[in-house]
Amino acid sequence: MKAKFYLNLLIAIIALSACKKDHKPITISKPKHDTAVYIVGFDAFNTLDSTIACYWKNGVITKLATMNSYAFAVAAKDSNIYIVGYTSIFPSAPDNAAYWKNGKINYLPNGSIGSRACAITLSGNDVYIAGDLEKNAVSGQAAYWKNGVLTTLTDTATRSYTTGIAVSGNDVYVSGKLFSPTGNSTPVYWKNGVMTKLDNESAFANATAVAVNGNDVYIAYYTATSGDLIGYYWKNGSVTQLVNSRQPPIITTDITINNNDVYITGFVSVVPPGRSIATYWKNNVPQLLFITGDSDGYNSHIANQVIVFQNNIYTVGYYTLPPTGITNAYYWKNGTPIKLSNDYSYANGAVGVAY
């Protein structure tokens, strides 16, 4: 018995030695880097009962809430995704500004009857969110939150709203508009709480977004000029009027800087009145964006934001089919339209993420 045991042990040792001698090193390949494009907005999910905040990751939709909610902007750092918007318990209830971090909702303090959040930027470990407080049903107060701490930008007697936020070093820039007692508005921005007017007061005016690039500050805005709405962008105090290949009005919605190129989104008007073509401008050269089968803006298209990610240009927005008012969320990748969702949906913001 012992002889058989030692014989088996010797055979096993010889076999193991042979395996080690013939063994070749195994190369473990590292996982490939993953990428994703997140687009945020809201969708009625084929009903008119309520609108639900949502996001699309590479075109796949995920709900952020159950009802009465909206998402307007998104930012990313490392593997964390931040989405801002607002919710309410039911349609007639006050809104509550909120942000979702990796899908988990966080409500922002407001100290008023309601609040909304519309823009976000990340700087280091700090989270900055722009929005406004609802003083009553028709009046707002511009504000922003840094890591959840509220800062108001105007007094309670002044009707004002924010649209964008950017940070450079210790400086916080917020874009928005200010209303006069007559109901006219003025495009403005705040730097560390100090307001600057970008143009004169008019019947329709708004500073729609702000971006920083090094020491340069860029703001997109529009205002009524000689009865027409005209789009502009402001850079360090210098104003440039946007080129229009169609007819007024030009409405701006967002601005971003990529490799010193200036991208602005919005729309231009077409005939018949009340219809529009989604547009982005790269260094003030307009690029018209269409939906398949609609070559000249028979339906209304609006572009809300553009990003450049891995050499591709993504523009997000929606189109409206008159006279029904039905909206469909869309994005355009290098000018090619891609439908995100069915009826009654909007796409508002986007970010590209490389893991």
Which has more confidence, 179 or 27? 179
Please give the average per-residue pLDDT across 314-338, as a whole number: 89
> What pLDDT is attached to residue 282?
97
Which has more confidence, 295 or 344? 344
Query: What's phi and psi for 105, nearest 5 deg?
Result: -80, 140
Answer yes or no: is 14 within a domain: no
> What pLDDT is attached to residue 18?
33
User: Roughly how many angstroms between the first and final C-alpha of the chain, as a whole number?
Assistant: 60
Answer yes or no: is 70 within a domain: yes
Share of the chain above pLDDT 70, in %: 84
d(CA 229, CA 218): 20
Looking at 16-30, 144-158, 242-256, which range is the least confident one?
Answer: 16-30
Answer yes or no: is 339 within a domain: yes
> Please, which pLDDT band fits residue 344 given cuts at 50, 70 and 90?
confident
Q: Are 314 and 303 in contact (CB under 8 A)?
A: no
Share of the chain above pLDDT 90, in %: 63
Answer yes or no: is 1 within a domain: no
CATH of the domain at 155: 2.120.10.30
Q: Nearest Cα to 221, choosing from 177, 274, 184?
A: 177
Q: What predicted TM-score, i.e. pTM, was given to this entire model? A: 0.87
d(CA 61, CA 57): 7
Domain boundaries, position 227: 33-354
Residues in CB range of 328: below 8 A, 6 or more apart: 318, 319, 321, 339, 340, 341, 342, 343, 345
Is residue 103 left, alpha or beta, with left meaning phi > 0 and alpha meaning psi from -120 to 50? left
> What pLDDT is attached to residue 291?
82
> What pLDDT is attached to residue 8?
38
Q: Nearest Cα to 210, choosing from 220, 225, 197?
A: 220
Q: Is the pLDDT of residue 220 over 90?
A: yes
Please give the average per-residue pLDDT across 201-216, as a whole number: 94
Question: How many distinct structural domains can be found in the chain?
Answer: 1
Q: What is the pLDDT of residues 117-172, one digit of tens each?
A: 999 999 999 999 999 998 765 679 999 999 999 999 998 888 999 999 999 999 99
Answer yes or no: is 123 within a domain: yes
> What pLDDT is attached to residue 174?
98
Q: Is the pLDDT of residue 105 over 50?
A: yes
Q: Nearest Cα to 150, choosing from 123, 128, 169?
A: 128
Answer yes or no: is 24 within a domain: no
Answer yes or no: is 27 within a domain: no
Q: Are 141 and 152 in contact (CB under 8 A)?
A: yes
* Bridge partner list, 80: 77
C-alpha distances out from residue 55 to 81, 231, 237, 288, Å: 11, 29, 36, 25
> What pLDDT is attached to residue 144?
97
